[in-house]
Amino acid sequence: MKPANSILSAYGTTVFEVMSRLAMEHQSINLGQGFPDEDGPDDVREIAARSVIDGPNQYPPMMGIPELRQTLGEHAKRFYNLDVDWQTEIMVTSGATEALADCLFALIEPGDEVILIEPLYDSYLPIVRRAGAIPKLVRVTPPSWELDLDALEAAFSEKTKLILLNNPMNPAAKVFSRIELEGIADLLEKYNAYAVCDEVYEHIVFDSEKHISLITLPGMRERCLKIGSAGKTFSLTGWKVGYITAAPDLLGPVAKTHQFMTFTTPPNLQKAVAFGLAKGDDYYDGLAKGLEAKRDFFADGLKRIGFEVMHCAGTYFITADFRPLGLGDIDDVEACRILTLEAGVTPISVSAFYASDAPRHYVRFCFCKQQHILETALERLGNFVAERR
C-alpha cells in the first residue's frame, strides 16, 4: 500500500473525541469537549424543524441563503458598527472549522509563514501544515496570558502571510485587550500580512466587557477575515453553521475553496440561524450573563477543592493547575485519566493545545452545563481529593 498523506497521518484522533469516548465508557461527567448540555433556543429549533418539512431542502446558493447573509450584515452593523455588503463580503460555511480551512487553503502558498499563538485550538496546525505553510509559534503564558508584542514581532518576517488569531481564546479563556489588538494591527500593516480571526466565542465575554473585533481597528478592514459560529452563539454545536466576513478581494479566493470543500451548508439550518441572529439584546446578554454565573460558581468550587484556577474572561472554559491537589508526579494526560476513572469527572489536558514543549500541569474544564451537573461534578471532585489526602 502506498502511504497516505504524511502530515495528516501523523496526527492521532483529536483529544475531544478521545476524552468524550473515555467519559462515556466510565459514566464520567464530561467537562472535556466543549458543548452545552442544553440545546439552544426553542424558537430557533422550531424554525429549523419547520424548514425541514416545508423547505428549503435543496442546494442553497453557494455563498449561503440571502436571508442569513443579510442578517449577518445587520449583525455586523449592530455589534461592531461595520458596514458590510452582504452580497460580496459574507459567506456561510459548514461550521467555523470549515471556515478556518477555507481561509487557510485559500491564502497560503507553500513556503509562507503563518503566525499562531499557543495554546491553540487543535485544528489550526494540521491545516496550516497541510496547506504548506511554516508555522511560527508565539506563546501566551498563565496566569496573565498577556501577549508579549516584542516576541510577536520577532515571529514576523517578510514571509509572513497571516496570523491566525483566536479571540476570545480557547483554552486560555483570554480576551485580547485593545492595546494587544492595536499591536497586532501595527505588525500586520508593517509586514503587509492578513489575519484570520477565529471569533466563535464573540458573544461569550464576561464582566460587562465587550468583544473587540480586530477587523474594526483602523486599516484592518482589508486585512481581516472574521469567522463566527452559530454553534457557539446559539448553543447548537452539532449544527455546524459558520460564517466569514471579509473584504471582497479576500473573500473571493476563500469562496473558491468553499466551492470545492463543502459547496453549501444545510439551508433549513441557515434559515433558523438567520432568525436567531436577529434576536433582541436580551438573548445575547442572557447568554453571557448565564454563562458568567456558571463560571463564577464553578471557578469558586474548583478553588475550594484546591485547584489553582486561571481567570476566565470569555469562552466557556476554565483552565486549572492541578498540582496543589497533591496527585503526585503525574502529567495532565494522566491527571485527566485519573479524574475520569476515579473522580468521575472528565476534563481535557491543556498540553493538547501546544505543538511541543507544553506545560504539563493544566487541565481545562468546560462549564456550559446545567447547574445540577456542575454541582455533582464539584462534589465528585471534592470527595476524590478528600479521600486522597
- Binding region for ligand PMP (CB under 6 A): 34, 95-97, 121, 166, 170, 198, 200, 229, 231, 237, 240, 242
How big is the chain by its Cα radius of gyration, in Å?
21
**Number of amino acids touching ligand GLN (CB under 6 A):** 5
- Give the nearest distance from C-beta 261 to ligand GLN in angstroms: 17
Q: Which C-beta is closer to ligand PMP: that of 194 or that of 243? A: 243
Q: Identify what 231 binds: ligand PMP, ligand GLN, none; CB under 5 to 8 Å per kind.
A: ligand PMP
Residue 71: Cβ within 10 Å count: 22
* Residue whose C-alpha cell is 469558586: 300
Can you read off the three cell numbers belonging to residue 202?
464573540
Residue 29: which H helix or E strand, with range? strand 29-30
Shortest CB 53 distance to ligand PMP, Å: 25
Three-state SS for 242? strand
Three cell numbers, residue 351:
498540553
Q: Which is nearer to ligand GLN, 16 or 354 (CB)?
A: 16
Angle between helices 371-388 and 281-305 (to 10 degrees): 10
Q: In this complex, which beta carbon is closest to ligand GLN, that of residue 33 or of residue 340? A: 33
User: Binding to ligand GLN by residue 33, rule CB under 6 A?
Assistant: yes
Whole-number minimum distance, CB 200 to ligand GLN, in Å?
8
The three cell numbers of residue 355 are 505543538
- CA 313 – CA 308 distance, rounded (Å): 16
We find the least distance from the C-beta atom of residue 319 to ligand PMP, in angstroms, to be 14
C-alpha cell of residue 122: 487543535
33 binds, among ligand GLN, ligand PMP, none (CB under 5 to 8 A by kind): ligand GLN
Of positions 94, 170, 265, 351, contacts ligand GLN by CB under 6 A: 170
Minimum Å gap between C-beta 116 and ligand PMP is: 12
Q: Least distance (Å) from ligand PMP to the CB of residue 229?
A: 3
Q: Binding of ligand GLN at residue 34 (CB under 6 A)?
A: yes
Minimum distance from residue 240 beta carbon to ligand PMP (Å):
6
Q: Which ranges of the chain does DSSP label H, i.e. alpha helix?
A: 6-9, 15-25, 42-54, 66-80, 86-89, 95-107, 124-130, 149-155, 178-190, 230-233, 248-261, 267-277, 281-305, 332-338, 371-388
| Partner whose binding site includes residue 242, from ligand GLN, ligand PMP, none (CB under 5 to 8 Å by kind) | ligand PMP
Between CA 174 and CA 170 the distance in angstroms is: 8
Q: Are strands 160-166 and 113-118 parallel, antiparallel or unpaired?
A: parallel
Taking CB within 5 to 8 Å according to partner kind, which of ligand PMP, ligand GLN, none is near residue 95? ligand PMP
Contact residues for ligand GLN, defined by CB under 6 A: 14, 16, 33-34, 170
